[in-house]
Amino acid sequence: MDTTPGGGHVLAADRPGRFGPYGGRYVPEALVAALDELDREYAAAAQDPSFTAELDHLLTTYSGRPTPLTEAARFGAEAAHGARILLKREDLNHTGSHKINNVLGQALLTKRIGKQRVIAETGAGQHGVATATAAALMGLECVIYMGEEDTRRQALNVARMRLLGATVIPVSTGSRTLKDAINEALRDWVTNVETTNYVFGTVAGPHPFPTLVRDLQRIIGVEARQQVLDLTGRLPDAVAACVGGGSNAIGIFHAFLDDADVALYGFEAGGDGVATGRHAATITAGSPGVLHGARSYLLQDEMGQTIESHSISAGLDYPGVGPEHSWLKDTGRAAYEPVDDAEAMEAFRVLCRTEGIIPAIESSHALAGARRLGERLGKQHGPGAVILVNLSGRGDKDVDTAAKWFGIMDESGEVRA
Amino acid sequence: MTTSVAFEKARAEGRAALVGYLPAGYPSVDGSITALRAMVQAGVDVVEVGLPYSDPLIDGPVIQRAVDGALRAGTTTTDVLRVVEAVAATGAPAVVMSYWNPLGRYGAAAFARDLAAAGGSGVITPDLTPDADDAWLPAAREHGLDTVFLVAPSSTDERIAMTTASCRGFVYATSVMGVTGTRDQVSDAASVLVSRTRATTELPVAVGLGVSDAGQAAEIAAFADGVVVGSAFVRRMLEAPDEPAGAASVAELAGELAGGVRRR
């Protein structure tokens, strides 16, 4: 069992980028050389003790790993039918989410390749903030593409990125959200590929990104598995994570894949409800196809045009999903369910009140899912089921959205008496 | 007519072939048919019919705008096939330019069958390299369609050879690293890429990305077998006050470019 941050198995890559019928590389020929270079350099870096040591050092001394495991006793008792809810505290990472795990590795890789400029897409802004942070740390030029709609929803994160020295480019094409930010970042990359590395934020996109990002996020589950064993003396009954592109979910799932008795649950953004058509529940309601360079489930119409997704959570508002999740779904190793906006916000409220933790709205989908699992497992096995929840990010960025949702602020942002 | 015949004819006349692109369905399905036919009459040798897609990641803002318009107007894959049929009826070879997902969704075999039935000559696949998916090549071969893949300045010699070995009809060389859109200058990278490509194949090599006027067309015609023009045509359509004016403006540009490819 490897518990070293960033060490050992964390960087073990498999090849060649297919997960059953999913994944692959559907990109313009112009990008193939850069993807091959990234793949090659990553494989070499993973074998290079000085690279892994540098990454370990940053994860420990800069990001604050290992992140703690917190037992949410009041939340479990009052809101999850007596289940033991164990929170993997990725919200306590530097920059406030799991995104930093991936970005530190990719920024080191950028330096190793010898490029001076990084670009990234961002939805909620968490990946953008993490990338801007790593770029500042390593002296790289940084450009972040963000949907115009998201720059409004997540204005605080736009300010954070700019404070960190990044250029934020609002994307006004298409649905003006994460999907379009990725298109625009890919257009930048194909133009500037000689000088620029694309620091992709999730386990989607063309090979090697789904593998590379998963390996860099795998540390979440490696740590959490040992922490649950240390605390409870056994493995959890279930692991719950939210799924947009799916990086925090794959990160916590991966260490449990061979533990057949541990059920894995991904909770997708149900938006206004899957039946309304206004949602981001890609695996629940989508079908296989190709988006952003990989074959996976996606929200598409009969002609293969991408359907715009909807969610209160900017970080889950994406009509695609990482190809490994599609494979886990088809093989039955993981189950995926939608959680709608209202259910997620209720879980958000309850965690604030019972544990004194303000979660990201993204992670609140996983908390809502854990409540559902608590009820289900309680009926099956009685109370005391152990549910590990990936608390992937903190809710500072969401205070505005939440205050309006709960009527603490009016639409203009004034606090109500 | 197949694309090979069009390229041979141009070669026999001691000039490069002119390849012109417009997306189907902008500003309307019939409007795109009228404009593409006007292009052919004014001297375009091979027509590229764009299949509108929601996430055109190798296209710049000009083509994106037109494609968004075509999608908002409700253009379907069946409409695209109707445009191909109408253009092919002029006698000029018509190839479809399409991102992979709409083709995969329609079904590679079904699309190849229906495109061939509509008189289409083949498909250019900007986000599908020959090694990316096994579905397309056998379907295209079965229905006698040209398979046009892209090579780029960043391609290794091995990849150029692999790509041209899977091409039929012609090879599409992207002149610069970047997305579609007009540029002020023809890049030096283009002629190098054409030479590297010719070292691997007897097929004609057409150069695209960034060509907007007769002078640039003439520069490229000096070293390539074909000159591809897209965004400059689309811009004419976007700027036109109505459909007849758009078709007239496109025809005017086609005439100038046809002069350019003869000026080498």
Q: Does A291 touch chain B (CB under 8 A)?
A: yes
**Mean per-residue pLDDT over chain B, rounded:** 95
Domains of chain B from N-terminus onward? 3-261 (3.20.20.70)
| Partner residues linked to A409 by β-bridges | A415
- Cα separation, A244 vs A298, whole angstroms: 11
User: Are B177 and A190 a contacting pair at CB < 8 A?
Assistant: yes
User: Are A187 and B57 a contacting pair at CB < 8 A?
Assistant: yes
User: Are B153 and A28 a contacting pair at CB < 8 A?
Assistant: no
Q: Does B149 touch chain A (CB under 8 A)?
A: yes
* pLDDT of B134 strictly over 80: yes
- Cα separation, B264 vs B262, whole angstroms: 6
Mean pLDDT of B101-106: 97
Q: Does B76 touch chain A (CB under 8 A)?
A: yes
Q: Chain B: nearest CA to A234, how far in angstroms?
A: 43
For chain A, 417 residues long, give each residue's pLDDT as a single digit of tens: 333 333 333 333 444 799 999 999 999 999 999 999 999 999 999 999 999 999 999 999 999 999 999 999 999 999 999 999 999 999 999 999 999 999 999 999 999 999 999 999 998 899 999 999 999 999 999 999 999 988 987 888 999 999 999 999 999 987 788 899 999 999 999 999 999 999 999 999 999 999 999 999 999 999 999 999 999 999 999 999 999 999 999 999 999 999 999 999 999 999 999 999 999 999 999 999 999 999 999 999 999 999 999 999 989 999 999 999 999 999 999 999 999 999 999 999 999 999 999 999 999 999 999 999 999 999 988 888 999 999 999 999 999 999 999 999 988 888 887
B152 → closest Cβ in A26, A29, A306: A29
Q: CA-nearest residue of chain B to A27?
A: B127
Contact predicate A125/A92, CB 8 Å: no
What is the CA angle A157-A162-A165, rounded to 5? 135
| Partner residues linked to A238 by β-bridges | A263, A387
- In this prediction, residue B264 carries a pLDDT of 62
Domains of chain A from N-terminus onward? 18-63+99-214 (3.40.50.1100), 69-95+218-405 (3.40.50.1100)
User: Are A291 and B101 a contacting pair at CB < 8 A?
Assistant: yes
What is the CA angle A311-A313-A315, rounded to 5? 110
Q: How far apart are the first and last CA of chain B?
A: 25
Q: Does A107 touch chain B (CB under 8 A)?
A: no
Looking at the annotation, which residues of A are catalytic? 99, 121, 392
- In this prediction, residue A73 carries a pLDDT of 98
The pLDDT tens digits for B3-31 are 999 999 999 999 999 999 999 999 999 99
What element of type H or E holds B49?
A: strand B46-50
Query: Is omega for the bond preceding B27 within 30 degrees of 0, making it cis?
Result: yes
Looking at the annotation, which residues of B are catalytic? 48, 59
B152 vs A contacts (CB less than 8 Å): 28-30, 32-33
Q: Chain B: nearest CA to A289, how far in angstroms?
A: 6
Q: Does A33 touch chain B (CB under 8 A)?
A: yes
B146: which residues sit within 8 A by CB, 6+ positions away?
B2, B3, B4, B95, B121, B122, B123, B140, B168, B169, B170
Contact predicate A39/A13, CB 8 Å: no
Q: Chain A: nearest CA to B181, how far in angstroms?
A: 12
Distances (CA, A) of B7 to A112, A208, B22, B209: 46, 38, 20, 19
Q: CA-nearest residue of chain B to A206?
A: B132
- In this prediction, residue A174 carries a pLDDT of 79
A34 vs B contacts (CB less than 8 Å): 154
B110: which residues sit within 8 A by CB, 6+ positions away?
none
Q: Does A34 touch chain B (CB under 8 A)?
A: yes
User: Are A29 and B174 a contacting pair at CB < 8 A?
Assistant: yes
Q: Does B200 touch chain A (CB under 8 A)?
A: no
